[in-house]
Amino acid sequence: MCSPSRAPDPAGVTYAPASCLVSPTPCPEHPWLSARLGDDGTGGQTQTVHLASTSMDLPDLDALAAVVAEGGVAVLSGAGLSTESGIPDYRGPSGAARPSTPMTYQAFTGSAAARRRYWARSHLGWRVIARAEPNAGHRAVAALQDASLLTGVITQNVDGLHTGGGARDVVELHGNLDRVICLGCGRLSPRADLDRRLRAVNRAWRARVLAVNPDGDVDLPEQDLDAFRTVDCDVCGGVLKPDVVFFGETVPADRVAACFALVESARSLVVLGSSLTVMSGYRFVLHAAKRGTPVAIVNAGPTRGDAKAQVRVDGPLGVVLPNLVDRLGTVRTG
């Protein structure tokens, strides 16, 4: 079992993530990774994930390289691409033993107590997401895009790491935690602004983090939630919500249409790090398969879409994708 590690941040929060990805020592269950917890200069927790230079010799990787070499690839990525940046996923190896109940749109909009619970958890969890760095998998996707092999990138992730890794024009299907939207006036604002406001009204608040979740919140003891204070929109006084799609919420129609158009214009669809459990992403695999567009899946573990895939590579994205780039002779500089 992976051993947790703890480090207090400036607000007095104790982190105890249930993931080997933030362990101070290499995890024997995931030997391709080693991770280090360090100090960011303010006493806070930073996470640096070092990827071993592991080579792969898999027939399936050759098949994947053949698909990508044709160009015209649409990428659909999920949480498994970001686990090696220290962000856990729900259904892959790092999330299998960690039950979690994500916030629903109906609960958030219908209850002030639910909003307080969400913002208390997200206020702390966002710091982990915000400090995460793109990993070798993100940089490999950017390299493939630089080589004009991709028609576009769709991500189900809300962490912004594709863009941080150098990818361009990423369609963020479920939004981005770096933005906040007012449900009253529709104003968008930076998450960093809200973070400063929440810190100001919760100076004396202390909580202990039990686990970090991939949607940017954390698990907290119930007794730590009651004292947390929320804030409203400073323009209209409306309810603030992260600019992400909650469970039970509909993805904006124009965004979905852009994703379908991208898949329809592609020669192939390559899925990276998604179990495809949620229809929000799986529908694009179904659409590609219906059109006769080849589907390739790279994921650590089985996925819902395996039966639709012509190519399947089972392995860590931070190892598979750099090896793919090497085989294609694609090198990203900078």
Stronger pLDDT, 34 or 267, i.e. the higher one: 267
pLDDT at 63: 94
pLDDT at 263: 98
d(C-alpha 17, C-alpha 162), whole Å: 23
- Catalytic-role residue among 123, 138, 162, 174: 174
Check pLDDT > 60 for residue 16: no
Mean pLDDT over the full length of the chain: 81
129 part of a folded domain: no
67 part of a folded domain: yes
Percent of the chain whose pLDDT exceeds 90: 65
Query: Quick check: is 174 catalytic?
Result: yes
d(C-alpha 109, C-alpha 251), whole Å: 16
Q: Count how many domains the chain has.
A: 1
Describe the chain by its helix, strand, coil percentages, rounded to 5.
35, 20, 45
Check pLDDT > 90 for residue 277: yes
327 part of a folded domain: yes
d(C-alpha 288, C-alpha 310), whole Å: 12
169 part of a folded domain: yes
116-141 pLDDT tens trace: 999 999 998 888 888 899 999 999 99
Stronger pLDDT, 208 or 25, i.e. the higher one: 208
pLDDT at 211: 73
163-205 pLDDT tens trace: 999 999 999 999 999 999 999 999 999 999 999 999 999 999 9
CATH code, domain carrying 75? 3.40.50.1220
Which pair of structure tokens corresponds to residue 329?
């002779």
Range of the domain at 151: 53-87+134-174+251-334
What is the DSSP secondary structure assignment for residue 186, as one 8-state letter? -
d(C-alpha 114, C-alpha 250), whole Å: 19
